Each structure stands twice: as C-alpha cells, then as structure tokens.
Structure 1
Amino acid sequence: MRHTVVISDVHLSEVERESGPWMRYRQRAHLPDGPLAAMLDELRARIREERARGTAATLTLVLNGDVFDFDAPRVVGEQSVFHDLPRTAEHSVPALAAILRDHPVFVGALGRVLADGHELVLISGNHDVQITLPEVRALLVANLVEAAVAVLAAEGRPRGPSIRAALRARVVFRAWFHRTPDGIVIEHGHQYDPTCAYRTPMDPFGRRPREIHPTLGSLGTRCLVSRFGYVNPHDDRSFMLPATAWIAHWARHYALSRRSLVIIWLSGMTRIFSELVRGRHALDRARRRAAIREAARETGAPLGAVARHARLFARPMEERLYDAARQLWVDRVGVAALALLIGAGLLFALSGPLKLVGLAAAPALIAAWEWIAPRGAFNAAWTSVDRTARHIARIHRARAVVFGHTHLPGGRWEGDVFLGNSGTWSAIPEAGDPACVPRAVIWLVSEEGAPSLRGGLYVWASGRFHAMEVREAGDACETSTEGAIVWADAALPAAASVIADDRDPPSERDDEDDALTPDDEALSTAARRRPRSIRSPSAAS
C-alpha cells in the first residue's frame, strides 16, 4: 500500500525577533511549525499501525514548493533587513542555514519521517527556486540526515555510514515536477502564472551563469510587498485591496510613523523595473531542449509527454514590460497623476462656473482609463493554474495531478482522476491559534491490484485529520460536512473544489516546438496523438 501525502507553501523564513503588528507573520507565536510537526507525527503513527497489521505500507511525503522563502527579509543583528541579493549559491546557502536554525521543530519532524524509512520529495517553487542549486541541496540534505541520525541515536538504532547513505538516498529533489510510480503528478504550479513563471524551471538561470533569473513575482515580493510590514505577503487578502482600503491602511499604520508608503512604492518600482530590463535576454532554444531532456531523465516521464507538458507554460511577464507595469498599477498611478495635473491646470486657467470642469476632469480621466484598459482580476492566473491540472492529467495519463502555489486548497474527483491543490501552511496571524487553523493535506493511497486511487483532500486542525473531498475504494467522492464546517469556522478562503470547470485547453506556446530536435519529434507526435479524454492507467491498459 503506497501513501502519497502532499503539502506546500509553508514559506519558512528567518524568525522576526520583535513583537507587535510589524511582520507578525514572521513571529514565532504564529508559526505553523508545531501543528505541522504534529500532523507528520500522526501520519507516521498511522503508517506504523498499518505495518503492525502486516500491511507493506510505504509513505512518500512531498513538499510541493515554497516550503522555504528566499525572498523574505534576512535577519541581521536581531533586526529584519530587506534585500534583493543575487539569487546565487553564495547568498542562498547562508539564507537557508539561518532558516533551518530558526525552525528546529520542522527539521526534527522531517528527520523523524526519514528515520522511519519513508521518502521525502522536495519540489522547487517560485519562492524557493534556489533549491535547484547543488550547494543548497547539499546543505539541506546534510541537515535532514543529521536530524534523522539524532532520532536513530535516541532510539538506540544503527546509524553508521551505510545508514547515512540510505537516508541521503531517500531525499529526492525535483526542479519542476514529480511523478510517482502509481501515476500521481505533483507540481508547484507557478509555471502557469505569468508573474512567477520561468522559461524553464529546470534551467532558471538568466544572463549570468549560476545566477537565477528574477521573476516579477520574486522582485515584487522583495522590493515591494514584504516591505509593507503590516501586511502578510502570503495572504493576498491583506494587500490586494481597493484604493479606499489602502487609504485606511495608511491612516492606521503609516500616517503617524516615519515609514512612507509612497517612498516604498517609488523605490520598489524603480528597483523592479531596472532589474527586469537588466535581466532581459534572448531565448536559447538549445538550453530549452536540454532542459526538457533533463526533466525526462529526472522524472522518468516520456520525453514527448514532457515536451507537451512544457508547452503549457505561461509566458513570463517580464517579457512584456507593459503588462508588468499594469500588474503593479504603474499605469493607474501615472494616469491619476496626469489627471490631477490637468485638473489643477484647468482650475487655475478657468474662472466662474467653468472651474467645475477642472474639478470633474481628474475623476473623469481616471474613470475613462479604467473603462479603456480594465485591469483583470488579480486571481485570474490562479484559475488558469488549476485548470491546467486537467490537461496535465491527459498528457501524462495520470491518476492524479496536485498543484500548490495559489494558497487556495481544493480537490475534486473526475471519474478515476483526482485534481487537487495543497493550499498553504504559511503563518496566518489573523486566524488565531496556529494549532486550530485548518490546513490542507492531500493524501492519496494506492493498493496493488486496485483499479483506482482513494483518498483526496483532508484538513488538519486541532490535532486531527478531517475528511474534506475524499473517495474510498470503489466509492463515489464524498464531501465531508465535518471538514467543511472546520474550514468555515476559521473564516478562511473556500477550500472545496476550486478546480475550474472550464474544459477549454489553455493556450500553448508556439515556440515550444523548438524544444525537440528532429530525432525527438516522433516522441512528441506520439504524445500529441493520445486520446484527449482523461483516463486512469487501468482504463488505458
């Protein structure tokens, strides 16, 4: 019996040393480490119970991206310091070392998972893409192995060189996606979000060798959102606000302080766009072909399927500077400033009743721009991310596809195929006691000879698992009232069935055809000729 458990988006960073409303989400009192460790211990206990009954149960724990947050501020001299340091091993290794030191409970919990003989898979996300760097991987493996060895020593179990080698072998890294032997495809999902996508996650480097290319999302977090220290950058509800709410936020937190929203925004915009311009580089098709081959080798997936999978990537927004400016409201600020200037000029130039024209000019121009160039919903990319799961299931003939990234947990069974999102385990101070905050866990089980998977979306809260969207062997999917009530009581975003119903395939990038050489084209053609309906491996055989 094979258990696959997926969690994501923990966003561990160095712990904030100060108290109060500034950076509450980084303060130890609000961290998810304790509940996360408790969940993993309960999971281990259940696997042990199965083994005690004579079942050959195995567990693969998948940390599906953004477990660590390399875009968060560093702590220097007991104070948080904002940065936009180069995304290289030179800066990433010390950052990870500091994060691991600040989260011993989390590291210890992972060590216990390894000590029990289970497999740990770490998939790179958009905030921890640095895990693709060999030096970062080596440091992480060393810390996890030491944590597991400490558990073995405490229990009086062997821990010699061969044991250490076995522990290291059970830590698996994936730069893009992971495919389990029982047909589950797991991927962070940022490649379908234009603000966070790389040309290829297997090779996220830019013009400078071994320096990871900065995306708009990474720059926006480092240079803008994280510097608004009174908001939680991992909870979009705290900063994706209308203008009136931002005015109220300014009055409450900034009006009587030395911190300035205007200076933060202006300096952030300057840094973001200078980096976007500096980092622009031409497409290298040879690198893309090599990256697709490497992904096929790393995951064991057919080369043609991997190539077709890569064609679903969103075009990185830094390749479209105008769209990036609109995403960051630069156009609206510019139009508003121009409208105010024109309105002031009209007020000065006109007299009598005509001054009303000057008063009306600014709001009229702003309203006209909103009508001419409406800004799409900020979560439109998230809907696309979840919709893409269905098409990845077709490409790989997967029994399940699990994403993270959006922080919106969900799951649904479509026939014998499960489509899910592992939500987030990041700190949410506004939700209260971390032990009581419901957290999403994707838990899927396969048995030898069984035609389909079972399990699905669960919620961990108050020390126990609650079923949310699960299916038992041979049964239809059931939505648990208990899990729904637990989620609703926490007043968090909806957690059930967030996979979009839109069945139309997302646009595929035309230039991805260059990802294969003529020798590989037959594999790609075979992948494209597969039936477009979702089928489980049993149905396909």
Structure 2
Amino acid sequence: MAISDIHLCELEPTAGLWMRYRQAPYSPDGEIAAMLDALRGEVRSGTGGSGGLSSARDELTLVLNGDIFDLDAPRVIDNESVVHDLPRTAEHAVPAMEAILRDHPIFVGAVGRVVADGHTVVFVAGNHDIQLTLPEVRDAVKRRIVDAALDARSAQGSGAPARPGEALRAALEARVVFRAWFHRTTDGVIVEHGNQYDAYCSYRYPMAPFGRKPGEIQPTMGSLVSRLLVSRMGYFNPHVDSSFMLSGFGYLAHWARYYLFSGRSLVLAFAVGALRTMVELARRRDPCRRALRRAGLRAAARETGAPLPAVAKHARLFARPAEDCLGRVARELWLDRLGLALAGILAALACLCWMPEGLAAAALLAPTLLVAYERAVPKPTLDAVWQGVNRAARLVATAHGAKAVIFGHTHSPEGSWEDGVFFGNTGSWSAAFEDIACTKPVFEARPLVWLRSEDGAAPDEPLAGGLVMWKDARFQPWRADATPSVPRKAEIARRPRPAGLRPQATAALRS
C-alpha cells in the first residue's frame, strides 16, 4: 500500500490566517492515523474489506512515497515561523526533522503501530524530504518510529516470546526501510516519488544528491522557490494551485484584502524570492560527473536489489536539472519578461527624449518586441510537465519489466491497468483547503494505491487491486467523482492567460 505528499512540517504557532494550513487543527494527522489503524485491522482480519481491497495475507508493506515531510517549509524558532534557506546538511536537517516528528505524534504513533504489528514501512525520499538520503536523518526517523512501535506493543500487552530489549529493537528497526530513489518489491512493483522526471525538482545523482560541498545537498529550483518565495507568501496555500494561480486583478484583490494593512509585501516577496532563486542556481551550478553517476547507479542496485542494467535504463529517463538551462528558469519566474519590460521602458524613454521628433514612434518598438517574444517563446504548461511524468512511468515499467509503477509528486491521483501492468499516482494527503480560512477541504476522499499478490504466486502471476479512496472512515474503490472540488494543475494550465504580467513560479512548487 502506498500514499504520498503529506507535507508534514513544523506547526505554525499562531492562530490567524497567516499560514493557517500549517496550524495544528488543520493537520491531516488524525485522518492518516484513522486510515492506518483501519488498514491494520483489515489486513489482520483478511476479510477483503470494502470491495475486496485488503490482502488475505497478514503481511503488509506500507510505502510512504515521498514528500511525507516538508523540510523546505519555515522552521519554528522562539514560537515564530522563520523563513530560511539553511544549508541542506545533516547539521540542520536532523533538528528540523526531530521538530516535525515532535509536532506530529499522532502520525508517528500510527506508523509505529503498523511496525508493531509486524509489517514493513518504507520511506521513499521526495523532492521536499530529500534529506531522507542522509544517514543521520534516517536514524532520527527510525528511532522515533521504533519508539512508537515499542510503546504500541507495550500498550497492547503483546504475547510475543520475551526477548532481550536490544534484539527486539533491532527486529523492529529492520522493518523501517529507506530508499533514496525508488523501491522495488519482490513481486515486481516499482514505487518512486516521480520528481526525477520534472526538471524543476530533479537531482543529478538521487542516491547522493550533493553539490560541490561534501555532505550538502544540491538545491533544486523547486526547493529554492519553496524556501525563498512561496514561504514568504503565507496567505497562499502552496498545496492548492487555485489559491495562487490568479489573474492580474485577482492578485490585486488578494493584495488589497490581506497585505494592504498587514505590514507585509507581496510584490517584494516575489521579486526578492525570484531573483535569489536565480542567483543561487547560477552560483551553485554543478556539472555532471560521470564517476558520481556510475557510483549512484551501483548504489541504487545495491539498495533496491534491482539489476544494474535496469537501473541504468531507468536513470536515462531523468529530466535534466533546471540549473542546466537558466533561461528556462528565468522564463518560469517571469524574470525574462520583467527584464525585457524594463529594458523596453528605458528604450522608449530614450527614444522620446533624444530621437528626432519624426522618429519618436520608434518608442513603440520595445513593447512590440516584448509581445513578439511572448508569442515566439511559449512558456511550458503544467499539463505538459505532468504528461511527461506519466510517460516516464510507462518507460520505467519497460526498463524493469515491472508489474506496476507507482508515482506521487503531481498530487493528482490516478490508476489504470494497461496490458496487465498497473500505473498509479498516490495523489496527496496534504492540508489542502479551498479557502484561506481552511473551512472547506479540497479532498472529499483521500487516495491510496493498494496492490496485493498471493503468497507463493508465480513471477508472471498478475497483481490485484489498484487505486482506492479513504472516505467516510472506510476504504472504497476510487470513483471519478472523488476528484478535488477546486481546479487542479492540469485544468488551470489549459485556461487562457490574462494579458497582464503575473508571477507564475508554480511549476517549480510541486508541493
């Protein structure tokens, strides 16, 4: 069973509208805990659940498929949310992860109960919790999950034979597994977050995603945008695209309603964040090194048990990191058009002030060139990005000869069987609400992918199951009408754009 994109972060300590989606009452912890407890019950009973969704085997692998934690979100220091771009090292990542786990004991306890029941939990790193590749961060997560599992066994009065404490702890630790890139099951399922096929969020070496400084993770454009830009706009909900994909008039109305008398600046937050993102990407550019790439392939084969040739084919599908094409970054952040507009204004003023009166009409050339550029160099749509991720899933299945490929990342739940192979997306369990006051949840149903195979089945035996929804406190087959009630990325991307300039760093968010 797989879920993804919960985006657990440190809880916002205030009670106002600013970053309300980060406040404790709106966290999805309780919903996740209820689902996991019901999952344990169905697997234990082997009754098949609603619609025959559970496995008759008393064995479960729960895959938490990336972006379970959001280490790009603001830290809470002295009871205040603080926007940061701290180095992505163990020194800073471990305290941040420990703070997140401390703020979400309900989630930790629920995962611990899964482990206490004898099941396996697999954490796959995503683009917002890529720090799960660091051994120190893995140790911090494993320690808290195992502590929760021991507490659960103690509360249940487990009848298991008495064993030395260290041996029991080691047995529980063996059930908490980490994957830096993808997870491969013994029955032919590939589970991966999916960010490696998105240029704004891909890493050159996902097994060791470091830059020039040893032990420091190389930031992606998506990570920088989240930290330097989106985190400074607390009246938007980064988990709901329609909250920030507004028209020019929409941004003006949003500013007047929330920023005009707040002492905060929406324009400055965007301008500074976009410029800093561009500067940091340019400053930290790290060219491809073949030795590191080959070492990463070997490490992935060892970690997952996948054949090295299949891993190599898999890696060839990666999107090149955005730092390799800074022009595309400037296009996504609107820096190219803002620069052209500024140059055009200066050129027009120069024409009007210093050119002969008969040639003053040349001042119109600058805005004409800006319009021509906008039409000649179209900005890639979000829909195109998501389609690229979906295509990659099919190629991953071919590379591994997989029976199923499961991604997350896009926040759009999907599930389909194609020639006996399942392709799914685990959607999102994040704190997504239609309104800033967080009174109307986007998701009426929460998605998960639940596949099963029979014990001792032949290698060519097909899997069963698929995309499932958690709704009304029970598991149900996914229905088309369970889609979110607000526009999603692909739908918004197809809409005509207003003529006015507006910040659209949205393809870099992936959150």
Common fold: TM-score over 0.5: yes
1:5-404 equivalences in 2 (<5 Å): 5-50=1-46, 55-157=56-158, 160-344=165-349, 364-404=368-408
CA distance in 2, matches of 1:393, 1:156: 43
Aligned to 1:453: 463
Change (3 A) 1:52 1:342: closer
1:24–1:429 Cα contact (<8 Å) kept: no
**CA-to-partner distance for each residue in 1:341-384, whole Å, 9 max, x for gaps?**
344555667999998886x6665343222112221213422211
Distance in 2 separating the partners of 1:392 and 1:436? 29
Count residues in correspondence: 476
How many angstroms apart in 2 are the aligned matches of 1:356 and 1:258?
A: 42
Distance 1:52 1:166, change over 3 A: farther
Give the structure 2 partner of residue 441 of structure 1. 448
- In 2, the alpha carbon distance for the partners of 1:495 and 1:456 equals 23
Amino acid corresponding to residue 338 of structure 1 in structure 2? A
Q: Is the 8 A contact 2:241 2:488 kept in 1?
A: no
1:445 Cα deviation (Å)? Answer: 1.1
Distance 2:481 2:30 in 1: 23
| Separation (CA, whole Å) in 2 of partners of 1:435 and 1:380 | 23
Tell me the distance in 1 between the aligned counterparts of 2:283 and 2:379: 26
Deviation at 1:20, TM superposition (A): 2.5
DSSP-derived class of the 2:262 partner: coil
Corresponding residue for residue 424 of structure 1: 428
Provide the rounded CA distance (Å) in 2 between the counterparts of 1:153 and 1:492: 46
In structure 2, give the amino acid aligned to 1:16.
Answer: E
Which amino acid in 2 is paired with 1:332? R
Deviation for aligned residue 1:51: 8.2
Q: Which 10-residue stretch deviates more, 333-342 or 384-393?
A: 333-342
**Corresponding letter in the other structure for 1:133:** L
Question: In structure 2, how many angstroms separate the alpha carbons of the residues matched to 1:140 and 1:149?
Answer: 14
SS class of match (2:122)? strand
Q: Deviations over 1:91-147 (max 9, x none)?
A: 000000110111011001001101111000000011100001010000100000000
The letter for the 2-side match of 1:101 is R
Q: Which amino acid aligns with 1:139?
A: A
Provide closer, same or farther for how the CA distance between residues 205 and 247 of structure 1 changes in structure 2, counting only shifts above 3 A.
Answer: same
Partner letter of residue 314 of structure 1? Answer: A
| Amino acid in structure 1 at the alignment position of 2:261 | L
| Aligned counterpart, 1:517 | none
Q: Which residue identity is paired with 1:218?
A: S
Q: Deviations over 1:306-344 (max 9, x none)?
A: 011100011101121111111111001112223333445
Deviation larger for 242-251 or 222-231: 242-251
2:241 touches 2:487 (CA, 8 Å); kept in 1?
A: no
Q: Is the Cα contact below 8 Å between 2:72 and 2:128 reproduced in 1?
A: yes
Structure 1 residue 255: deviation in Å?
A: 2.9
The SS at the match of 1:331 is helix
TM-score (norm 1): 0.83
Unaligned runs of 5+ in 1: 469-482, 497-541
Q: Is the 8 A contact 1:393 1:399 kept in 2?
A: yes
CA distance in 2, matches of 1:462, 1:293: 45
SS at match of 1:456: strand
Q: What does residue 485 of structure 1 align with? A: 481
What letter matches 1:165 in structure 2? A
Which residue matches 1:535? none
Q: Provide closer, same or farther for how the CA distance between residues 253 and 355 of structure 1 changes in structure 2, counting only shifts above 3 A.
A: farther
SS of the residue corresponding to residue 450 of structure 2 reads strand
Secondary structure in structure 1 of the residue aligned to 2:483: helix
Q: Which amino acid aligns with 2:85?
A: D
State how far apart, in whole Å, the 2-side matches of 1:435 and 1:206 are.
37
Residue 235 of structure 1: how far off its partner (Å): 2.5
1:518-539 Cα offsets, whole Å, 9 max, x none, are: xxxxxxxxxxxxxxxxxxxxxx
In 2, distance between residues paired with 1:435 and 1:239? 15
The CA deviation at 1:201 is 0.4
Q: TM-score, normalised by structure 2?
A: 0.87
Alpha-carbon spacing, 1:382–1:55, altered in 2? closer, same or farther (3 Å):
closer
Is the contact made by 1:120 and 1:171 (CA closer than 8 Å) also made in structure 2? yes
Q: Which amino acid aligns with 1:416?
A: G
CA distance in 2, matches of 1:378, 1:336: 24
- State the AA in 1 paired with 2:75: R
Alpha carbons of structure 1 residues 391 and 436: separation in structure 2 relative to 1, 3 Å: closer
For 1:353 and 1:194, the matched residues in 2 are separated by: 48
Larger RCO (CA within 8 A; separation ≥ 6): 2
**3-state SS, counterpart of residue 434 of structure 2:** helix
Shift of the alpha carbon at 1:58?
Answer: 1.1
Aligned equivalent of 1:464:
474
Q: Distance in 2 between matches of 1:246 and 1:353?
A: 40
C-alpha contact 1:422 1:440 (8 A) present in aligned 2: yes
CA deviation after TM superposition for structure 1 residue 267, in Å: 2.2
Q: For the Cα contact (< 8 Å) 2:432–2:443, is it kept in 1?
A: no
Deviations 1:3-58 (A, max 9, x none): xx100010000001112321121111221111111111111110111189995331
Contact 1:58–1:118 at 8 Å: present in 2 too?
yes
Partners of 1:10 and 1:374 in 2: CA distance: 33
Specify the code of the residue in structure 2 equivalent to 1:72: A
**Gapped regions of structure 2 (runs ≥ 5):** 50-54, 492-511
Answer yes or no: is the 8 Å Cα contact 2:240–2:434 preserved in 1. Answer: no
Are 1:402 and 1:421, in contact at CA under 8 Å, matched by a contact in 2?
Answer: yes
Shift of residue 288, structure 1, vs aligned partner: 1.0
Displacement of 1:155: 1.4
Note if contact 1:437-1:462 (Cα within 8 Å) is conserved in structure 2: no
Q: Is the 8 A contact 1:87 1:213 kept in 2?
A: yes
